[in-house]
Amino acid sequence: MEKKKVLVTYNMWREGYAELMRKYDVTFPSEGVESFTYDEVLAMIADYDALQSMYDFPVDRRLMDAAPKLKIVSNYAVGYDNIDIPYATERGIQVTNTPDPVTEPTAEQAMGLLLAVSRRISELDRRLRIPGGVKVELLSNLGHTLYGSTLGIIGMGRIGRAFARRAIACGMKIMYHNRHRLDERIERQYGAEYVSLDVLLRNADVVSLNSPHNSETHHMIGEEQLRKMKPTAILINTARGALIDEYALAKALRDGEIWAAGLDVFENGNFPVPELLALDNVVMTPHTGTQTVEVRHEMAAHVSRNIINFFEGGDIDKVNLV
């Protein structure tokens, strides 16, 4: 029987793909090329049974229309806002994601950003390198203590809870807002109070975004929401950039409406709006929440496993019901 054909859009270390490569005919970009372009994938996809897409690779109607044999899109991410899910479902294409490998590392990134922001670590590191850049006085360069403060999590899913565990270890209290209230048992486990978005924004010392991006959550933090937050509040975003209106955030940070922010994601890929670049009270990383050696191997194995189990039977991380 002819081997199934799998197209991987990005050049990855091959170890995690070993089993997939043994079983199927897998195409990666040539050595030295980072990734296929959209047009290259569009030109090739007709022959493929499976596509392994990156989180920022658009799997849209046009691409799926060019893919009569396509049965599964195995997305290399927990998020899947790069994929037209309703159309994939209509076409009977299974979409899968990678929740397991990304949960703990993304929460680590959120905690890293929070510590860097609350104790001004990046700013002071930058200034320390400039002669005369830092004055050490008891009342200068003050940060905010996390111990005893309240973390408000918007989206208390797997990553939200993993961040909550770290925050609890730092002595923080947890409140959360979700579309659906969690089981009482889980609330008790985290000592987490369920509140409306309004109450969370007004009362949390740290607001963390851990929601997926979709039409309902697009720009969920804008001028109006930022105005409700405390002037001492910190905003952390390790989910998707488009949850925030970045221009409104830059203005709120500049005008002292909120105290600081830590951002790993931006609406325009890895490019924050220029207004943010000029500010000292924001720490930014270029979507590196899962950028560790371990995660790269684990995610490769995970996307492969989703494809193998889809064709051969076994558990997969289903995003849609087809």
Q: Using the rule CB under 6 A, is 235 a contact of ligand GLV? A: no
Specify the residue, 40 or 100, whose C-beta has the smaller distance to ligand GLV: 100
Query: 55, 190, 259, 310: which one contacts ligand GLV (CB under 6 A)?
Result: 55
Identify each DSSP E strand in 98-243 by its residue range.
150-154, 173-177, 192-194, 206-209, 234-237
Find the shortest distance in angstroms from Cβ 289 to ligand GLV. Answer: 6
Cα(2)–Cα(80) distance, integer angstroms: 30
Whose tokens are 């929740």? That residue is 99
One DSSP character per residue, 209-254 reads E-PPPSTTTTT-BSHHHHHHS-TT-EEEE-S-GGGB-HHHHHHHHH
Residue 253 Cβ vs ligand GLV, minimum distance, rounded to whole Å: 23
Q: Which residue reads 């290399």 in tokens?
A: 76
Name every residue whose Cβ is closer than 8 Å to that of residue 20 and which is 6 or more positions away in sequence: 6, 26, 304, 307, 308
The 241-280 site mask, x for binding ligand GLV (CB under 6 A), equals: ----------------------------------------
What are the two backbone dihedrals, phi and then psi, of residue 51, each rounded to the nearest 5 degrees? Answer: -125, 130
Which of the residues 97 through 116 are near ligand GLV (CB under 6 A)? 102
Measured in degrees and rounded to the nearest 5, phi and psi for residue 246 equal: -65, -35
Comparing CB distances to ligand GLV, the nearer of 50 and 102 is 102
- Nearer CB in complex with ligand GLV: 92/269: 269
Cβ proximity to ligand GLV, 29 vs 101, nearer residue: 101
| Separation between Cα atoms, residue 287 and residue 284, nearest integer Å | 9
Determine the interface stretch with ligand GLV among 5-13, 73-81, 226-234, 267-275 (rule: CB under 6 A). Answer: 73-81
Residue type, 61: R
Q: Is 306 in the site for ligand GLV (CB under 6 A)?
A: no
Least distance in Å: CB of 238 to ligand GLV? 8
* Residue pointed to by tokens 């720490």: 283
Which range touches ligand GLV (CB under 6 A), out of 37-45, 77-85, 134-142, 245-253?
A: 77-85
Find the shortest distance in angstroms from Cβ 106 to ligand GLV. Answer: 7
Q: How far is the CB of 287 from ligand GLV (least distance, A)?
A: 6
Write the single-letter amino acid at 41. V
The site for ligand GLV, by CB under 6 A, has a size of 7
CB of 212 to ligand GLV, least distance (A): 9
Among 8, 78, 295, 303, interactor with ligand GLV by CB under 6 A = 78
How many whole angstroms from its chain centre is CA 108? Answer: 12
77 binds ligand GLV (CB under 6 A): yes
Q: Which stretch binds ligand GLV (CB under 6 A): 76-84, 138-146, 148-156, 245-253?
A: 76-84
- The region of 11-19, 40-48, 71-79, 122-130 touching ligand GLV under the rule CB under 6 A is 71-79
User: Which tokens sit at 72?
Assistant: 């599964």
* 233 scored as a contact of ligand GLV (CB under 6 A): no
Q: Does 290 bind ligand GLV (CB under 6 A)?
A: yes
Burial of 202 from C-beta contacts in 10 A (0-12 / 13-18 / 19+): middle
The angle that helices 121-128 and 99-118 make with each other, rounded to 10 degrees, is 60
The contact set with ligand GLV (CB under 6 A) reads 55, 77-79, 102, 289-290
